Amino acid sequence: MDSQTANMAGDVKRHRLSTRLWHWLNAALLYTLFTSGLGIFNAHPRLYWGQYGANFDHPWLTLDRFPGWITLPALYNLSMSRHWHLTAAPIFAFALLFYMLWSLANRHISRDLAFRRGDLLPRHVWQDIKDHARLRFPTGQAALRYNVLQKTSYIAVIFGLLPLIILTGLTMSPGMNAAWPWLVELFGGRQSARSIHFITAFALAGFFLVHILMVMLAGPLNEIRSMITGRYKLPQARP
């Protein structure tokens, strides 16, 4: 949706190279962080609020250990899970920062993600909700523009959930606590940050599942092709 230059066959350039690279890098990093994070969580599968939390404190959530098929590594190994997590985390943070700055520079945010006049009118939002519920996806040139639900979800993820999961992750680090003590105060303690980190991770996982579902319903070959090559075949307009 970065470019809307169509040819006679209805084939358009949809995503810039920077968007495609960040998309696939982000997918690999989020998978690594999520699965290794569950491996770390398995060392103490309880969540608390506040500054402290240990075996004799009262948790607000207690879970069984996550199975090996969804953790990295598959066998319980706290040191290896931490190794994978702490290797991927800084790459993920700097990639997000670079993408944000690049999107501001090339006007991707102002052109494609910013809400336009009328986007947030109740009748417009309700129409988008009904179209999604009926699986009536945009066709023609309208398929090149993000709708209200897409804009809302992408803005929430890029500028909300992703920075939040980075900041809460930093809050759990004793080294960062010494350098930036305000982080602990911001989230109300390291255990609160851990709880928010866990909730945010599963919110991102939920977004990922919905995203994959929408790709499958909208036409996976065309959608995946556009994110690999940048080229997208416009769906034919409905009669």
User: d(Cα 167, Cα 230) in Å, to the nearest integer?
Assistant: 32
pLDDT digits (tens, 9 = 90+) for 66-124: 999 999 999 999 999 999 999 999 999 999 999 888 888 888 788 888 888 888 888 88
pLDDT given at position 42: 96
Q: Could you please report the per-residue DSSP string of 124-178?
A: HHHHHHHHHHTT----GGGGGS--HHHHHHHHHIIIIIHHHHHHHHHHT-HHHHH
Distance of alpha carbon 64 from the chain centroid: 25
CB proximity list for 72: less than 8 A, separation 6 or greater? 32, 35, 36, 38, 39, 80, 81, 84
What is the mean pLDDT of the segment spanning 52-79? 92
| Burial group, residue 101, by CB count within 10 angstroms (0-12, 13-18, 19+) | exposed
pLDDT given at position 8: 39
Q: How many CB atoms lie within 10 A of CB 136?
A: 12
Q: Could you please report the per-residue DSSP string of 109-136?
A: IIIIISPPTTTT-HHHHHHHHHHHHTT-
pLDDT digits (tens, 9 = 90+) for 154-212: 999 999 999 999 999 999 988 777 778 888 999 999 999 999 999 999 999 999 999 99
Distances (CA, A) of 94 to 35, 88, 102, 178: 20, 10, 12, 21
What is the mean pLDDT of the segment spanning 224-234? 85
| pLDDT higher than threshold 50 for residue 6 | no
CATH fold of 11-233: Fumarate Reductase Cytochrome B subunit (1.20.950)
The domain locations on the chain are 11-233
Element containing residue 9 per DSSP (H, E): none
Q: Which residue has the higher pLDDT, 51 or 66?
A: 66
pLDDT digits (tens, 9 = 90+) for 124-147: 889 888 888 887 877 766 777 788
Nearest to 153 by CA among 125, 134, 131: 125
* 171 and 184 Cβ atoms separated by less than 8 Å: yes
pLDDT given at position 140: 66
pLDDT given at position 24: 93
